Amino acid sequence: MPVLKEFTIPLDATQAIQGSEFLSRLAERPAWREMYESALAEARDLVRPAIAYAVHPVTGADGERLIIADGQALESPVVARLFGGAPEVALAIFTIGPLLEERVAEHQAVGDYPAGFALDLIGALAVNEVGQVAYRAIEGLAASRGVRASIPLNPGTSHWPLIGNRVLLELIPAAEIGLEVLESGLLRPFKSISYAVALGEDVLTPDQGSSCDYCDTRDLCRF
């Protein structure tokens, strides 16, 4: 059950505002652009990326869930349909740690909401960058086994309730990177994400599709 720490990720203030016309227009103003750059510099001292993942066998599937490991179920019809033919599934969880969100709270506590907003935006970008590192590690693992890695699917989407995180944390060494799951299914630290990736010869890969294709709220998401 691999754990990855002590690595760096790229961060760029421009990336944090891509995809949002409103934020792009704000960034054209010198004061806001300066604020984003300041948040970026601050984030570099606060981000503590870490990844934990584990591979488990797929033992069955029905219309609504994928059965893996010792009978645990991933309760998603999309996961069951896309991953049901794969022999294995990799479960991953990743985070940037608690420091950035604690600093955001400090900004908000003193009424500096713009600085907190900019830092939180950079934090969201950082989590996604850590997720890319995690996916590349899983891709490498798949290649070493002579198979391919599918698109990642994660709890918290329209087809897979957030409570699915509780099953994932049973099967991933999340405590080794300081992560826990709340009763609601939220992860803590909150700047953390989990996902599942099928490993097999005939899986839907990122060059063939995207997890967004299966999310009912994709039209509302700036990512």
Taking CA atoms, 96 is separated from 16, 106, 134, in Å, by 16, 17, 12
Q: By mean pLDDT, which of 11-15, 124-128, 194-198 is the weakest?
A: 11-15
Average pLDDT over residues 22-48: 85
Average pLDDT over residues 91-112: 97
Q: Which among 101, 166, 91, 100 has a CA at the least distance from the CA of 134?
A: 91
Dist. CA 37–CA 33, nearest whole Å: 6
Asked whether 198 and 156 are in contact (CB, 8 A), the reply is no
Q: What is the pLDDT of residue 53?
A: 97
Q: What is the pLDDT of residue 19?
A: 63
pLDDT in tens, 129-164: 999 999 999 999 999 999 999 999 999 998 999 999
The topology (CATH level 3) of 3-206 is: NADH Oxidase (3.40.109)
Q: What is the pLDDT of residue 119?
A: 92
Q: What is the pLDDT of residue 23?
A: 72
Structure tokens of 15? Answer: 């990336």
Domain layout of the chain by residue ranges: 3-206
Q: By mean pLDDT, which of 20-34, 43-57, 190-204, 207-221 is the weakest?
A: 207-221
Q: What is the pLDDT of residue 26?
A: 74
Give the global pTM. Answer: 0.89
